[in-house]
Amino acid sequence: MKLRRCAVLYIESREDLSIDWRTVLSGGNALAASSHWVALAPHLDQEITIDAGQLAALGGASQTVWRERSAVEQQYGEVCIAELLELGLLIGDTPQYAAQRARDDTLRDTHWRPLSALAHTFGRWRGVVEETGMEAPSFQALLDRFGEPPPPTLDIHPELAIRLPAPAAGRMDEQLLQRYTGRNYDLQASVPLEVAARLLQRTFGAQEVRQVGPHSEVLKKTSPSGGGLHPVEAFVLAQRVDGVTPGLYHYHPMAHELRPLQTMDQDAAAALSRYMLADQHWLSGAPLQVVLVARLERSYWKYRNHQKAFRAVALDAGHLSQTFYLLATEAGLPAFITAAINDADIEKALGLDHLRHAVVAMCGCGPAADGPRSMVELRYGETDAI
Ligand SMILES: Cc1cc2nc3c(=O)[nH]c(=O)nc-3n(C[C@H](O)[C@H](O)[C@H](O)COP(=O)(O)O)c2cc1C
């Protein structure tokens, strides 16, 4: 049997701080620090504590060249190697280790930049229901806690400034100067099907299709995209869209169709939304929601092992979000975007693999509730405390 190291592996020296009560009682420095090694391997999707012997064996193994197991065992011991194979940090070439090898191969085949794979894998949330600071604290509360923030902008060479004319009125002003993030949705209202159709098509749909190879198409959309690849897809969570059964759908950008993944009743859709949004109840009432999912394999097909590729994917999602906001505004609807989502759980619900896909953000929109607002919004022309 032969083995090699998994493709991407980072080791962290993790510090554990504790109070040393014996020292406290004798009047010494109370804070005690110890540390242990943590292996971070994106294909395993969990942190693994390892010891110094395992660290040495991993450090000595090649991620490319397969070596005879017996030779490696001679160097580091049979037990150590058996444990690392079982953990999936070393990859074996026999059927016994097929599952770990398949995950490692998926990572290799997707052409990840290793640091990006690390940041993506270990930055995901599962089961977050309340995150400190997410209950949108008022700016006054932030001032009380952190003091004054850095100024709102740079102020470079004011003495050399060239004054610019006031912006002329333009056709886009109507949307630009009405757009705001809605946090008070009408929980009874729905989105008409025609409105949802325009929003989805003009944000996520292909406006044109160019045939660039026998089986290769390039889509033209209303937002720009790194490499023109448009890796970000729209999965719709319909809560109250006229004529659409509540549930999860994939929006097909070329066919302009909603393809059902899972339908459910309205209460189940509301609960799912709140869970996906990590308990942000001020957003979960929006009747039409969209999960922005990057198909990394499409982007990395061109940008192989590329430092900027993962960042470009996040920028793509941001552009789509602004287009979505402006189209919602045109329809008289407030909208939202958030990255504070349980992306690892959403992957499961949508049947996605984090090594090939990134659930980047969620958007949504819907009619605003009448009456007093319970959550802060930054609407133009208002001067309420925020
Ligand atoms: C990347 C990103 C993440 C955001 N995340 C949240 C969020 O988690 N919860 C929320 O209520 N708003 C979120 N927002 C909305 C911002 O809070 C909002 O844009 C900001 O307060 C300015 O208000 P405006 O959009 O009405 O101009 C997010 C916006 C962006 C661009």
Q: List phi, psi (to 5°) of 181.
A: -85, 115
Q: What is the 3-state secondary structure (H, E, C) of the chain?
A: CEEEECCCCEEEEEEEEEECHHHHHCCCCCEEEEEEEEEEECCCCEEEEECHHHHHHHHHCCCCCCEEHHHHHHHHCHHHHHHHHHHCCEEECCHHHHHHHHHHHHHHHCCCCHHHHHHHHCCCCCCCCCCCCCCCCCHHHHHHHHCCCCCCCCCCCHHHCCCCCCCCCCCCHHHHCCCCECCCECCCCCECHHHHHHHHHHHHCCCEEEEEECCEEEEECCCCCHHHCCCEEEEEEECCECCECCEEEEEECCCCEEEEEEECCHHHHHHHHHHHCCCCHHHHCCCEEEEEEEEHHHHHHHCCCCCCHHHHHHHHHHHHHHHHHHHHHHCCCCEEEECCCCHHHHHHHHCCCCCCEEEEEEEEECCECCCCCCCCCCCCCCCCCC
- Give residue 28's pLDDT: 76
Site to probe by mutation for ligand 1, drawn from 274, 336, 363, 384 as the one with most ligand atoms within 8 Å of Cβ, is 336
| Rounded distance from Cα 339 to ligand 1 centre (Å) | 9
- Give residue 88's pLDDT: 98
Band of pLDDT at residue 383, cut at 50, 70 and 90: confident
Output the six-digit token pair for 200. 């989805």
| Rounded distance from Cα 336 to ligand 1 centre (Å) | 7
| Rounded distance from Cα 231 to ligand 1 centre (Å) | 23
Contacts of 63 (CB under 8 A, 6+ apart): 4, 5, 6, 7, 9
Q: State pLDDT tens for residues 257-315.
A: 999 999 999 999 999 999 999 999 999 999 999 999 999 999 999 999 999 999 999 99
CB 259 within 8 A of CB 247: no
Band of pLDDT at residue 148, cut at 50, 70 and 90: very high
- Give residue 140's pLDDT: 86
Q: State pLDDT tens for residues 158-171.
A: 999 999 999 999 99
Q: How confident is the model over 347-353, as a mean pLDDT?
A: 98
- Give residue 386's pLDDT: 76
Burial of 106 (0-12, 13-18, 19+ CB in 10 A): middle
Question: Which range among 25-29, 108-112, 132-136, 315-319 shows the weakest confidence by mean pLDDT?
Answer: 132-136
- Give residue 374's pLDDT: 86
Q: State pLDDT tens for residues 66-88.
A: 999 999 999 999 999 999 999 99
| Rounded distance from Cα 324 to ligand 1 centre (Å) | 14
- Going by alpha carbons, the residue nearest to atom 8 of ligand 1 is 338
Q: How confident is the model over 209-219, as a mean pLDDT?
A: 96
pLDDT over 90 (residue 336): yes
Band of pLDDT at residue 24, cut at 50, 70 and 90: confident
pLDDT over 60 (residue 248): yes
Q: Which residues line ligand 1 (CB under 6 A)?
A: 136, 180-181, 183, 280, 283, 336-340, 378
Q: How confident is the model over 320-342, as a mean pLDDT?
A: 98
Each domain of the chain, given as residue ranges in start order, spans 2-109, 171-365
Contacts of 322 (CB under 8 A, 6+ apart): 223
Q: State pLDDT tens for residues 119-145.
A: 999 999 999 986 555 566 678 888 999
- Going by alpha carbons, the residue nearest to atom 2 of ligand 1 is 338
- Give residue 105's pLDDT: 98
- Going by alpha carbons, the residue nearest to atom 25 of ligand 1 is 181
| Rounded distance from Cα 166 to ligand 1 centre (Å) | 27
Q: List phi, psi (to 5°) of 94.
A: -100, 165
The proportion of the chain whose per-residue pLDDT surpasses 70, expressed as a percent, equals 98
Partner residues linked to 295 by β-bridges: 357
Q: Does domain 171-365 have CATH number 3.40.109.10?
A: yes
| Rounded distance from Cα 137 to ligand 1 centre (Å) | 13
- Give residue 11's pLDDT: 98
CA atoms of 77 and 84, how far apart (whole Å): 11
Ligand 1 atom with minimal separation from the 321 CA? 31
